[in-house]
């Protein structure tokens, strides 16, 4: 039986492979294209912006036998999720697709010739709506500026903008650095024009970032430096690092601690050392009793002579004595003609400590460090 089967199979193979029968083998599921059918051409793929209209072009469609004019039939096959795209004039050579969201819109074109024969293989064109790359907004923190110590710094980021015309929806300021000992905080850092109290002389560096209505933040913050520059010929400031109450004293030539009027301090903040109301008189501009400082004394135009700078550990929170007062590392910065001339640091541990810091000779501007730690129980005004 097996031999018969093999012979039968060979006979079938031989017949099927004869030269006469080879060209007649056709898959009945695939019909040959009609050589007389018109040929659809939907045009090249294209890109537009979401919301723009895309004009399609089927003018390159043709008919092999010249049976024109052609009839056009466009079909929107697929579109991005969430789209409600519309097409107009679907039976014309140049219909319009109205895109509304980013993504791909696929359209098929079939054509019919004047003999009523349709193209059996539609041509597809893909229109891609590409959202333009979002441009980062550009932060502008304004120009560098100078203020006087104890002035308010006014920042201005209103020159920031978005290249694409989007609205700016958020501002973010950061206080990057400030003078050593400064305790000022930038609390309203989310507005275009925040403010900061310049409690100490020196540089305050800020950075600004902005966000546009597309939610994109500027990736390159803009920096601005505000320098608090003493405008007086002589300026001395005291800051410290605890809640203790330290006091700054400046004594004129021959003056003594807590002696009126030779000692400029919280008891006598504007003593008369020269002409009444004259520019040679000192002024205690700031008195901080709850810690950290600053305390500052200025003289617009010092008279010739020697001046002694001192710091007194008064107590705590305005009280002239305390038990277990926190130690304080005190820093005294001396400016002459708007330029820092010296900076001194010493730790004071107990109320009553008196640190004689340095002497200043005028008009030479020479400073001589003393750095002597003594004691005085004089803690009340005269």
345 in Cβ contact with 239 (< 8 Å): no
Q: Return the CATH superfamily for domain 145-228.
A: Immunoglobulins (2.60.40.10)
- In degrees to the nearest 10, what's the CA dihedral of 78, 80, 85, 91? -20
CA–chain centroid gap for 289, Å, is 37
343 or 48, which is more confident? 343
Other beta carbons within 10 Å of 48: 16
Which CATH number applies to 46-129? 2.60.40.10
User: Which positions ≥6 away from 10 have C-beta within 8 Å?
Assistant: none
SS3 category, 4? helix
pTM above 0.75, yes or no: no
Q: How confident is the model over 138-155, as pLDDT tens digits?
A: 999 999 999 999 999 999
Q: How confident is the model over 303-322, as pLDDT tens digits?
A: 999 999 999 999 888 777 67
Confidence of residue 277 (pLDDT cuts 50, 70, 90): low
**How many Å apart are CA 107 and CA 78, to the nearest integer?**
7
Q: Which residue has 């009793």 as its token pair? A: 289
Q: How confident is the model over 75-117, as pLDDT tens digits?
A: 999 999 888 888 888 899 999 998 888 899 999 999 999 999 9
């Amino acid at each position: 039986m097996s031999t018969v089967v093999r012979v039968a199979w060979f006979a079938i193979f031989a017949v099927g492979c004869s030269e006469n029968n080879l060209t007649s083998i056709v898959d009945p599921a695939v019909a040959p294209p009609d050589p007389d059918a018109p040929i659809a051409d939907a045009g090249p793929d294209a890109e537009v912006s979401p919301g723009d209209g895309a004009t399609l072009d089927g003018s390159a469609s043709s008919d092999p036998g010249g049976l024109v004019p052609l009839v056009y039939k466009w079909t929107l096959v697929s579109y991005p999720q969430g789209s409600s795209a519309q097409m107009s004039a679907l039976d014309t050579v140049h219909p319009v697709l109205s895109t509304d969201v980013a993504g791909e819109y696929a359209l098929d074109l079939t054509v019919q010739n004047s003999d009523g024969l349709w193209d059996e293989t539609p041509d597809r064109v893909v229109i891609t709506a590409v959202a333009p790359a979002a441009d980062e907004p550009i932060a502008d923190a304004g120009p560098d500026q100078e203020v006087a110590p104890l002035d308010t710094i006014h920042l201005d980021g209103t020159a920031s903008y978005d290249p694409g015309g989007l609205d700016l929806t958020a501002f973010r300021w950061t206080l990057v650095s400030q003078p050593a000992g400064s305790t000022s905080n930038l609390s309203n850092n989310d507005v275009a024009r925040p403010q900061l109290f310049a409690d100490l002389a020196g540089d305050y560096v800020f950075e600004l970032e902005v966000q546009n209505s597309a939610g994109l933040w500027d990736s390159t913050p803009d920096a601005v430096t505000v320098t608090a520059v003493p405008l007086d010929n002589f300026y001395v400031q005291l800051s410290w690092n605890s809640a203790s109450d330290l006091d700054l004293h400046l004594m004129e030539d021959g003056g003594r601690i807590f002696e009126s009027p030779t000692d400029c301090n919280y008891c006598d903040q504007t003593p008369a050392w020269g002409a009444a109301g004259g520019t040679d008189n000192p002024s205690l501009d700031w008195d901080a009793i709850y810690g950290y400082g600053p305390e500052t004394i200025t003289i617009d135009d010092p008279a010739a002579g020697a001046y002694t700078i001192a710091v007194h550990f008064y107590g705590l929170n305005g009280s002239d004595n305390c038990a277990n007062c926190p130690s304080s590392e005190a820093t005294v910065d001396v400016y002459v003609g708007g330029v820092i001339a010296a900076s001194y640091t010493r730790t004071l541990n107990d109320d009553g400590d008196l640190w004689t810091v340095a002497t200043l000779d005028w008009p030479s501007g020479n400073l001589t460090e003393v750095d002597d730690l003594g004691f005085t129980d004089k803690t009340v005004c005269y």
